[in-house]
Amino acid sequence: MAASSRPATGVTWAVLLLGLWLWGPDTARGPGGSSAPTHGDVAAVGRPPGVDLPPSRPPIPGDAAPRRVEIPALGVDAPVVPRGLDATGAVDPPPYELPGTVGWYGPGTTPGAAGPALLVGHVDTDTRPAVFYGLSSTRPGDTVRITRTDDSVAVFTVEDVSVVPRDAFDPAKVYGPHEPGRAELRLLTCGGTFDRTTGGYTANVVVAAYLSATE
């Protein structure tokens, strides 16, 4: 079965939820282990009224994997690598040695295919910001460009930005489609504040986008 057509079962969501909270503490110590408030509690804006967004377009035929992601509003232009689950059952993020690289959950949806595709990235390392450090400042109407291995470009429009607290994380809401049959994208990183007790951040920044153009 093609990755883009795999059903999003309850087991799948449970594994992804576990995975995000397992890798979150490791990736999100803050520069130098800071415990200061960070990454989007105030900046997350949801989908404010009055923002004109372009219509969605039909999913792209084929199953080409993502090769590169650009978020012009943030100055992000980063390679994308497929990732699966590690030995503990967690989503395996890019290595610490590659803080500028974004991970795509390869067993899930391909960006441009019907359903939500999942991209994850580090917010920081022990010493410096990483690729998704500014993710919480994304705004509805911003674009996310995904260059695929067939050289096509899937252009997504951001429709929602939120910070989801750890104790209120709803996998079906975060990972589920906003509109059935639409090609969608989720960008995730750590957010909230750094909790020294648990060794991780208190929330996830979640950016939701949908396919609005192709090139």
Structural domains of the chain, ranges and CATH numbers in brackets: 7-46+54-214 (2.40.260.10)
User: Which amino acid is it at 3?
Assistant: A
Q: Per-residue pLDDT averaged across 18-29, rounded? A: 40
Angle at 202 between CA 198 and CA 204, to 5 degrees: 130
User: In this structure, are residues 118 and 105 in contact, taking their beta carbons and an 8 Å threshold?
Assistant: yes
Share of the chain above pLDDT 70, in %: 74
Of the candidates 98, 74, 114, 83, the one whose C-alpha atom is nearest the C-alpha of residue 20 is 83
Cα 201 to chain centroid distance, Å, stands at 16
DSSP of 61-77: SS-PPEEEEEEGGGTEE
pLDDT per residue over 173-203, tens digit each? 888 899 999 999 999 888 877 777 776 777 8
When computed from its CA atoms, the radius of gyration of the chain, rounded to whole angstroms, is 16
Q: Give the DSSP letter of residue 91.
A: B
The position carrying tokens 């949806």 is: 109
User: In this structure, are residues 6 and 118 in contact, taking their beta carbons and an 8 Å threshold?
Assistant: no
User: Which amino acid is it at 83?
Assistant: R
Min mean pLDDT across 27-31, 74-78, 83-87, 194-198 is at 27-31
Averaged pLDDT of the chain? 78
Of the candidates 54, 57, 98, 107, the one whose C-alpha atom is nearest the C-alpha of residue 79 is 98
Q: What is the pTM of this model?
A: 0.79
The position carrying tokens 């400042």 is: 137
pLDDT per residue over 81-100, tens digit each? 999 876 755 567 788 789 99
The position carrying tokens 């648990």 is: 198
Q: How confident is the model at residue 2 (pLDDT cuts 50, 70, 90)?
A: very low
Q: Which residues contact 71 (CB under 8 A, 6 or more apart)?
A: 138, 142, 143, 144, 145
Q: Please give the residue that has the higher pLDDT: either 165 or 39.
A: 165
Cα 13 to Cα 133, 163, 185: the distances in Å are 25, 18, 15
- 16 has pLDDT over 70: no
